A and B are shown apart, each in its own frame.
Chain A
Amino acid sequence: MKKALSKSLALITVMTLGACGEMAKDSVTISLPNKNPYPSTYQTPESPAFALIGANLLTGDGAELTNTDLLIENGKIVAMGPALELQPGTIQVDASGQWVTPGLIDVHSHMGVYPSPSTSNHSDGNEMTSPVTAEVWAEHSVWPEDPQFEKALAGGVTTVQILPGSGNLIGGRGVTLKNIPSITVQGMKFPGAPYSLKMACGENPKRVYGRRNTLPSTRMGNMAGYRAAWIEASDYKKSWDDYVTDAQAGEDVDPPSRNLRLETLTGVLEGDIRIHNHCYKVDEMAQMIDMSKEFGYKIAAFHHAVEAYKAAPMLAKEGICGVMWADWWGFKQEAFDMVRENIALVDYAQACAVIHSDNPIQVQRLNQEMAKAMSAGNRMGLDISAAKAMRWGTYNAAMSLGLEDQIGSLAVGKNADIVLWTKHPLSVYSLAQKVWIDGNLRFDRFDKSVQPTSDFNLGIISAGEARP
């Protein structure tokens, strides 16, 4: 047993300092769990340098630039500005008068874990066998052939966070994927992206477990359930911290037994794993914030935050993103107080406002969802430009994932995740025309050879047919 265990542990050799300040000759071996046992196998394919010429940009971080060139090399944006001087032979894509945005990011998706067709054989998004299942990882459920992925790509979506469902208090790890065709989920995993942990407030967990006469059946039961888990996790973390301290002190100690559930929670307490918390109501958000302070972790975002407009000052103060729909409401009591101005008001309060889909239809048109949210804000007199609204599905979304240094805006040094649109991106008539991920053309509306389709569709869609 012990042998098998140590096999799965990464061996870290730590040089200890001797009493006189010199490195001791003997080293101590500390065995820690491998934090990345299912690593990304994605590699940016090589592609020739190319330039988009004369485009109108909504940069994703709040600016609108007209008649601007973008130079892309080795998957990155390497230059941006009017009339760039290009090396002879650089491939040029004429984008004059056309609109370009960063690739859109959906931070709340169940593609792959609740795929199409939505039959029970592939319905793998909610491990509703225990209220705390921090041990499950959404990536282990993702079906890479889900035809939803290619539809989202055709909508300009280049990065998605796939989350477990909200039936549990703590539902498991989410994973961030690049929206590219792959036969394995490892091939889609965003290299180095932080993991997330899905938590859920409110009606869902108490309904699921209340029906079974087990905790939680109430909101106070919800809170008790989370807190018990964090207490366990704090003890577990301490056992590992003690082990490391003792080993470093030269003691002959065995590592504690691994517990997958507590290992993920410990990752949160150590700041490696980001909390993405399904939470509709302002009063519950306040409880979750207090709890995060009780146990010493940080909440990255509240999802489905229908009442974020009530919580906006709190979100701004705590640095928590509100992740919202443009207009969904009424399916539950906790979604009854919807205002179409929600996203605009959170933005107005200078909190991080993010649009999300949670839905395979909406993910195909996040640009339209941003348009509706912007329009509602402008109707009430807030002065929201298209450039500002675009942040909700790009830069702000990247911030909630901890990836704002790599994606979410058109800027030198950023990944070349780029969408060229047929019309203004916030028009209902606009379609993604070309979509690049890391500088590679992954979708072209007018070239059937660049319209990937999943294995599932073969023999269903006839050969050569491009079906919108």
Chain B
Amino acid sequence: MNKLSVFIILLFASLSASASSILIKGADIYSTTGLLPKSNIYIENGIITAIGRSTPMSADMEVDGSGMSITAGLFNSSTHIGTVEVSAISPTVDFYSDNEAVTAALRIADAFNPRSTLIPHNRVHGLTHALLVPESGTNLFSGQVGLVQLGNQPKVIHNSLAVALDFTESGVELSGNSRAAALVQMRQALDDAKDFSRNRKAAMAGDHRDYVLSYADLAALEPVVNGDKPLLVKTHRASDITTILALAKDFQLQLILSGAIEGWMVAEEIAKAGVPVIMDPIHNLPNSYESLGARLDNAKLLADAGVTLLFTGMGGSDTHNAYLVKQSAGNAVANGLSKSMAIAAMTSNPAKVFGASVSGDIAVDQTADLVLWGGDPLELTSEAQLVLINGEVIPMESRSFQLRDRYFKRLKKD
């Protein structure tokens, strides 16, 4: 594919945002049922209506997809997108709080800014959905997890999918620097939430015993202890994962693990408990004593054991460049994970686990939420050529592109 035709496609895509029918011809389509090589896809009013030989052969907008590939839109399962603009400028940072009185009740989605410059920057590179995971500022309980869609009108899809808890070394530090103390605090909070749930009316009327957490925090934990909402626990050390699996069993909680750098050591236990894992497959450094077992094939080893994977990444760029989850996924494949598993971990798996408004798949009758890549979907040299979010073509515009164009013009004059 030459560069000129890429330009034409980009131009065409931007002019045709309102096209009611779109035909992409001859692209490799990665769906959950497998790879459909050199196939057509037809989208009508935002819905995929045909794939393969049966597609109509003309449309309002036609794209030659030969040499290209299509995946569902990228979904990063641990970000702060829309809740931070510049990390070092504190008034722009809303994903954690120093307020000791606010723990599990903190709902990060309440702070989501749909006009953040991070959103266009990420969606032009193929990111269509992201989980908003709060961080712990003062307490083990970080707050409630949200889900956002990054389309032309970015919006919160769910404002409370789970309650997040930090059982990494930094969370433990907030709990008085002992894992054992953190466990006391967790059990007490969960017991209190149960008690609160049973005695809600009396408690709210001030007619019941005192709790350590506020009523708002207990109310946030109530669906968790009742098994209606998952507890999302960030933890890395193998023995800490085992501890959390046991806690979840004791309290009959729905559990999602996050981080799990040493997950491979207890992969069978995680799989047996049916617990999905949010992880960044890029970590292979013993960066702390809780992650001495870090290795690049953690994702492969977890997948081999049957664990459902949900990817984030890459490294510290998981928010400003949340689309680089694709690079983490590519590295997982380079280290043994199958390509279909890697793609599922950033498309259909999170869509299913977190109840996105799209399926994270490429299939007939589904809303088109997809990316046309310039080549193999995981290669870093495959640029997003066309992005549809929730059935709409998104414009290839971002602040970064504007800066680039302004200065390229000046360089050409020099």
Contact = CB atoms under 8 A, between A and B. Distances in A.
Contacts of A18: none
Nearest to A331: B87
Q: In which size bucket is the chain A interface?
A: 35 or more
A328 B288 contact: no
A339 B404 contact: yes
Given A341-B408, A468-B284, 6 more contacts: A151-B285, A203-B88, A372-B327, A379-B383, A428-B327, A460-B293
A360 interface: yes
Contacts of A117: 286-289, 292
A339 B319 CA distance: 16
A118 B287 contact: yes
Interface in B383-414: 383, 400-401, 403-404, 407-408, 411, 414
B331 A365 contact: yes
B185 interface: no
A457 interface: yes
A364 B118 CA distance: 26
A4 to B, nearest CB: 43
Interface of B: 3, 6-7, 84-89, 118, 282-289, 292-293, 295-297, 314-317, 319-321, 324, 327, 330-331, 333-335, 378-383, 400-401, 403-404, 407-408, 411, 414
A359 interface: yes
B303 to A, nearest CB: 15
A426 interface: yes
B89 A333 contact: yes
Contact of B380 (A364, A428, A456): A428
Interface of A: 116-119, 147-148, 151, 203, 309-310, 312-313, 327-333, 336-341, 345, 348-349, 359-362, 364-365, 368, 371-372, 374-376, 378-381, 383, 426-431, 456-457, 460, 467-468
B262 to A, nearest CB: 11
Contacts of A456: 286
Contacts of A457: 286
Contacts of B411: 309, 312-313, 345, 348-349
Contacts of A340: 400, 404
A125 to B, nearest CB: 15
Given A116-B286, A327-B324, A428-B378, A468 B295 contact: yes
A313 B414 contact: yes
Contacts of A428: 327, 330-331, 333-334, 378-380
Given A313-B411, A328-B317, A381 B7 contact: yes
Nearest to A457: B286
Contacts of A328: 317, 320-321
A309 B412 CA distance: 12
A119 B296 CA distance: 22
A460 B292 contact: yes
A116 B288 CA distance: 7
A468 B315 contact: no
20 contacts: A116-B287, A117-B286, A147-B286, A309-B411, A330-B85, A332-B88, A339-B407, A345-B411, A348-B411, A349-B414, A361-B315, A361-B316, A368-B327, A374-B381, A375-B382, A381-B3, A429-B334, A429-B379, A430-B334, A467-B284
A456 B289 CA distance: 12
Interface of B is mostly: loop
Contacts of A313: 411, 414
Contacts of A375: 380-383
Contacts of A332: 86-88
A345 B407 contact: yes
Contacts of B319: 330
Given A117-B288, A151-B285, A339-B404, A371 B381 contact: yes
Contacts of A147: 285-286
Given A117-B289, A349-B414, A428-B380, A359 B86 contact: no
Contacts of A330: 84-87, 118, 319-320
B408 A345 contact: yes
Contact of A341 (B285, B320, B404, B414): B404
A322 to B, nearest CB: 13
A364 B287 CA distance: 14
Given A332-B86, A468-B296, A118 B6 contact: no
Nearest to A459: B292
A457 B291 CA distance: 12
Contacts of A327: 317, 321, 324
B85 A368 contact: no
Q: Which of B293, B317, B333 is most buried by chain A, counting CB atoms within 10 A of its CB?
A: B317
A375 B88 CA distance: 29
